[in-house]
Amino acid sequence: MEGFLRFLAAKAILLALASSFVSCYDPSPLQDFCVAVDDASGVFVNGKFCKDPKYVKAEDFFTSGLNIAGNTINRVGSNVTNVNVDKIPGLNTLGVSLVRIDFAPGGQNPPHTHPRATEILVVVEGTLLVGFVTSNQDNNRLFSKVLYPGDVFVFPIGMIHFQVNVGRTNAVAFAGLGSQNPGTITIADAVFGSKPSIMPEILAKAFQLDVNVVKYLEARFSSNYDRHY
């Protein structure tokens, strides 16, 4: 009996360890930093090669320009300026990134998801309606709120979420994301603009639409224009 209990305890420990590994996204760094570099002679860590620490400089941890408004003249009326590992090489392995989002009146950051990051957003100008939808297991509940300057809202990792400017003036928000490269799946772009296209008959049944409507939407989104972060 004692041997069996030890076996169960060992199995529980292994399952817990496996669970912790599975739930990890950006792994914790094992050094002070690993500045990304294109030189293939470096050490490959978390999708990037590491610069020799002897040659790291302050500029590797710096960028500028977030004071400049993005161009919102596009089909959704918004612009996302990314500050990720591709912009600041020093972010490599640090598990964090930042975006500035500009909105024209009525503009939106359309429904999308970040597969590798939770997002925390703060409004600095204007009025935004924001929200996220939970998973099927939670009956796809919508959590939504109108935000004003200084308000903060969190979008849990993987949840479909959106932001819409419901004010009469431009709006600006900044968001932190819990990954150096959070990834983005914009729902409409992914579903109706995939390469190659998903069979219209499949989408027609899934969305309960006429197949000709699906073909029209696929034609609209297949040009791959104005994609967001």
Verify that 74 and 129 share a domain, yes or no. yes
Please count the helices (runs of H) and the strands (runs of E) in the chain. Answer: 4, 13
Task: Summarize pLDDT for 163-196 with one digit per residue, the tens.
Answer: 999 999 999 999 999 998 899 999 999 999 999 9
Total domains present in the chain: 2
Domain shared by 71 and 145, yes or no:
yes
Domain membership of residue 176 (yes or no) is: yes
Type of residue at 65: G
Q: Residue 180: its pLDDT value, please?
A: 87
Q: What is the mean pLDDT of residues 98-127?
A: 97
Annotated binding site for oxalate: 109, 114, 119
**Given a cut of 90, is residue 119 above it in pLDDT?**
yes
* CATH code assigned at 33: 2.60.120.10
What pairing do the DSSP bridges indicate for beta strands 78-83 and 48-50?
unpaired
Cis? peptide before 200, omega within 30° of 0: no
CA distance 102 to 80: 7
Gap between the Cα atoms of 5 and 75, Å rounded: 62
φ, ψ of residue 75 to 5 degrees: the values are -65, -20
Do 158 and 218 reside in the same domain of the chain? no
Structural domain for 218, as ranges: 191-228
- The answer to whether residues 42 and 85 belong to one domain is yes
Least confident of 65-69, 85-89, 119-123: 85-89
158: left (phi over 0), alpha (psi -120 to 50) or beta: left
pLDDT of 7 reads: 47
Residues contributing to the annotated binding site: 109, 112, 114, 119, 161
List residues forming the annotated binding site for Mn(2+): 112, 114, 119, 161
Q: Taking phi first (over 0 means left), then psi (-120 to 50 degrees means alpha), and beta for anything else, what does residue 160 get?
A: beta
CB 229 within 8 A of CB 80: yes
Same domain, 131 and 221: no
